[in-house]
Every structure is written in C-alpha cells, then in structure tokens.
Amino acid sequence: MKSDYPVKHKVIKNLIEAHSWLGLIISPLLFLVFWAGAVTLFHDEITQWAVTPHHPIDPTQVDIPLAKLVEQKRAEYPMDQTGRFRINMPTQLVPYYIFYFDKVRYDPQSASQSMAILVDPKSGETVADKDDFYLSQFIYRLHYNLDLPGGSYLIGVVTLIFLFALVSGIFIHARKLLKHFFLYRVDRQRRDKLLDLHTVVGVMTLPFTLMYALSGLILNLAIVFQLAFVVFIYQGDRQALFNDAGFNRSSEPRSEMPLDMSNAFTLIEHTTQQANFELRNIIFHHYGADNALVQVRGTDTVNFAQRDEVTYRVQDGTVMDKVNADNYNVFRQGRDVLVTLHFSNFAGLDIRILYFILALAISAMIVTGNMLWINKRSAQRQSSARSIAIVTAMTIGGCGGIIVATAVGFLCERLLPSALIGRGEWLVGCFVTSLLAVMLYSLKVSDIKRHISQLLLLTSGILVITVVADWLLFSEQILALWQGGYHGVIGIQVGMILITAVCLWTASQLRVSPCSLPTMAKNITAANG
C-alpha cells in the first residue's frame, strides 16, 4: 500500500495540473456558455419584454383565420414557391405568428435568402422582422455557437474539455467528497474560502453540470455522432438517419398543377382537436401545388419529452408520416429527451428559476477557479507578472465584461428606435464594444475586489436605467399588457431588479476589505511559511 502512495499522489498531482490549465484555457468561453444559457432560459419572456410594448396585442379582438392570414402574407412577400415555409403559433409569451420562408431568387446563381416576420394574429399586420428585436436570439446564439460560423464546433470542444474537468475534479476530491461536502471555512485565509466555494458549488451542482456537459456535447458535436451512426447502424444511408431523427424533408419536385389549399387548414384543425396535443408549428411543402404537403407539429401534453408530428398530402388527406407515443422511435426519443432536459421545457417557471440559479452558481465556480490559479501564481516568485495580468484581465475583464455587456444589450434593446435600419447589428455592436472596453480596462487592474465591485455597480446602474426607461416610454402599454394577461414584461423587470439587488449586495461585501494582488500574494506566502 505504501509503495502505491507515491504513484497515486503523482496521478492526483497530474490531474490537478490538467484540471487547472484546461479549466483556465476554456474559462472565458465556458463562462459565456453558462451565463448566456442562464439568460436564454427566459428567451420567450425577453422576447415579450422587447416587442410587445412597441406592438401591444389587444386580447379582446378575434384572431384572423389562419388560411386568410397565409394568403395575405403570400401576397405581400415574394416567397419562393419551390421551397417550404414554417409558421410558429402564437403563445402566451410570444403572442405573434412567426413566418419563416425563403425569398424568391431572381438570379438562379444567387444563394437563397431566408426571412422571418412577426405577424399580429388580431390585425394581420407584420409588426417587425424577427431580427429587429434581436437580443433574445443573440444571447441564445452566443450560448450554442457564439453567433459565429463554425462556433458550434468550438463550443462542442469546450464542452468536451469541460466534461473532462468535471471527471478530473471528482477524482481529485474523491476522498473528501462526502466528508467535506458542506465545508466552507469562513475563518480561514482567502485561498481556503475560494477553494471551498469552488468545491462546494462543484459538488452540489454535479448532476446538473454532468447533464449539461453530456447533452451539450451531443447537441453541439452532432455531426460526429451522425457519422458514427451512418457508418455503423444505417450502413451509409444518411437520409434514413435524418428521417428517424425527425429531419425528413420532401425530395419530390414541385408539381406544375395548382391546388386549392383549403383542405390543408381543415387537416390542421382536425389534428389540433386530438386529445393531449398542443400545436407548436406548421410546415408547408410545395404550397399551392397538387403535390403539396402540410406537416403539423406539436407537443404531447401527457408524455415526457414527446413531440407529435403528422404529415398529410393536402390533395386527399393521406397520412404520409406520423410520429407519436404509439409510433415509438428510439433515436428521436433520445434526442427529444436531451433537448427537453437541456432547455428545461418539461415543467413550469419554478424549474427554469432553479436552472437559472444553478447556471449562475457554475459561472461563479468558473471565476473562483481562475482566482485560485491567480492566487497560486502570485505567491510564486518565478511567476510572470504579465501572465498573471493577462489571466486577471481574461477572468475579471472577460467574465465581468460579459455581465456588463448583457446589461448594455438590454438597455439598447429598449432604447434603440424600433424602426432603426440594422437595429440588430447596432445591438450586437454595442454588446461587443462594451465587452472589449471592460476587457481593456481590466488589463491594468491591481485591486481585484475593488474592480469587481465597480463592474457590479456599473451593471446595477445600467439595469436600473433600463427599468426606468421602460416605464417612462411605455407605462400605459405595460399596464395594458399586464391587464391583458401578458406578464412577461413586468416579470423581466422584476428579474432585473433582483439581479440589481444581488449585484449591490455583492459589491458591498467586496468593498468591506479590499485586497490587491501584491497584498494577496504576500498573505499567501506568509501562510505557506
């Protein structure tokens, strides 16, 4: 047993080094993923907060029939007849139809252009392009692909490294995992407190982080798993894999014979009347042609993570494809379970709030991990001051900058004129500029506590200004929306106020005993003898 101890000690030491360095490398992107993921949990509420004050819905009016609305929009916009278009149904949170379609290509050599519009179900008016109010979608894209081409693969690699960091952390703390489960040493030096915070959060959120690491890895690196399934299970038949996964598309060319589409809407109404079926969206293939198809997609309100879909041939109502709880597909069921768990859309608001708190806790764990590295290097005489400054800027500037930039994004979403051309690009520009400004300002930080408290106070100020701007600009609309049952606007305001309170409290705690890097290094050196 004694002879094995040095070997085990060396393995643990190597795991600690790997855990520290890999965690340090991926920390800015990993923080962004969890922070943006936490905000994305309230994607639809943010959309309601952003859009409805500009374009309020009158719940006393009757909805325009969907068939009439579709024909109206097809007359207004040059839709590509050879493609497909999708309609997302209005919900309590996003009370507009969302039409997705490709525009007509007048030049056959040019690439197709996609378009998405928000349509008022009461008046039939197009209230905005979907990307005009871009904040919720932008944060969602930051979560899964950094809003960059190929970003999903980069996030997939980060998730893979994160999974290794979780497993290595379990091995590092295996002996004391249960004994020190709730240990937080308030009477010890700063490094002990950071280590305890890092460990306790890591242990208590372990089921949550493992679920996110595994599901995020599969969702972001799906192409890798597709290749394996195609080769070993589907014998190279890629289309069969897509069909089982629910990505089947009509490969039949559009017919030249016209067809009256009224039967399509009869089929849609018939499907929505089925028990335990909640309509989500509709997809038309070859609309107006005699080989037109309509795909009706919804959620099974009884079975967990079960999406129901049925595809009809419009001409005679023939069922071309059907997926429900009785028509079980293991591949697709697994994908739907992962998506349901990942986005917490299997329960109510309480679960999303719990996910939000856990995601913020993991974000804090990422920062404390970097702070532990900074403390350790600061106590070593041979450490480079430049490397410590870079990591400090990356940790405090990058992570803190993301928080400030998010607050700036909310402020811009509220203050930018709704008719501004390129409104979405302006919002992204403000977000990126804020992030870079904070990162550059953080390069010369000497007092970390004071700097963090300043960033938290800045975030609080921006959020307060946003809430005040809400009521100055849209007080009547907000009250009317609340009375009409649309509570998302005030709900987001309450969330911003709570975040402001947390920021102010944290800033007040940090300013109690400011500690600079030199002082921190001196204290740690003295404690280590």
Contacts of 48 (CB under 8 A, 6+ apart): 93, 94, 95, 486, 488, 489, 492
Q: What is the mean predicted confidence (pLDDT) over 174-186?
A: 58
Local confidence band at 521 (pLDDT 50, 70, 90 cut-offs): very low
Examine the pLDDT at 405 and tell me if it is beyond 90.
yes
Examine the pLDDT at 284 and tell me if it is beyond 70.
yes
Count Cβ atoms within 10 A of the Cβ of residue 386 and give its class: 0-12 exposed, 13-18 middle, 19 or more buried.
exposed
Examine the pLDDT at 221 and tell me if it is beyond 80.
no
Q: Look up residue 260 and give its DSSP letter.
A: -
Nearest in space to 61 (alpha carbons), one of 133, 132, 125, 128: 125
Q: What is the mean predicted confidence (pLDDT) over 308-326?
A: 89
Top-confidence residue, 40 or 183: 40
Examine the pLDDT at 174 and tell me if it is beyond 90.
no
Give the pLDDT of residue 514.
Answer: 40
Examine the pLDDT at 335 and tell me if it is beyond 50.
yes
Give the pLDDT of residue 4.
Answer: 54
Give the pLDDT of residue 72.
Answer: 94
pTM: 0.85
Examine the pLDDT at 68 and tell me if it is beyond 60.
yes
Ramachandran area for residue 106 (φ above 0: left; ψ -120 to 50: alpha; else beta): alpha
Q: What are the tens digits of pLDDT across the range 492-519?
A: 999 999 999 999 998 888 765 444 444 4
Give the pLDDT of residue 195.
Answer: 67
Provide the token pair at 283: 């997809």
Q: What percentage of the chain has pLDDT greater than the value 90?
A: 42
Give the pLDDT of residue 1.
Answer: 45
Local confidence band at 370 (pLDDT 50, 70, 90 cut-offs): confident
Top-confidence residue, 234 or 456: 456
Nearest in space to 455 (alpha carbons), one of 436, 464, 442: 442
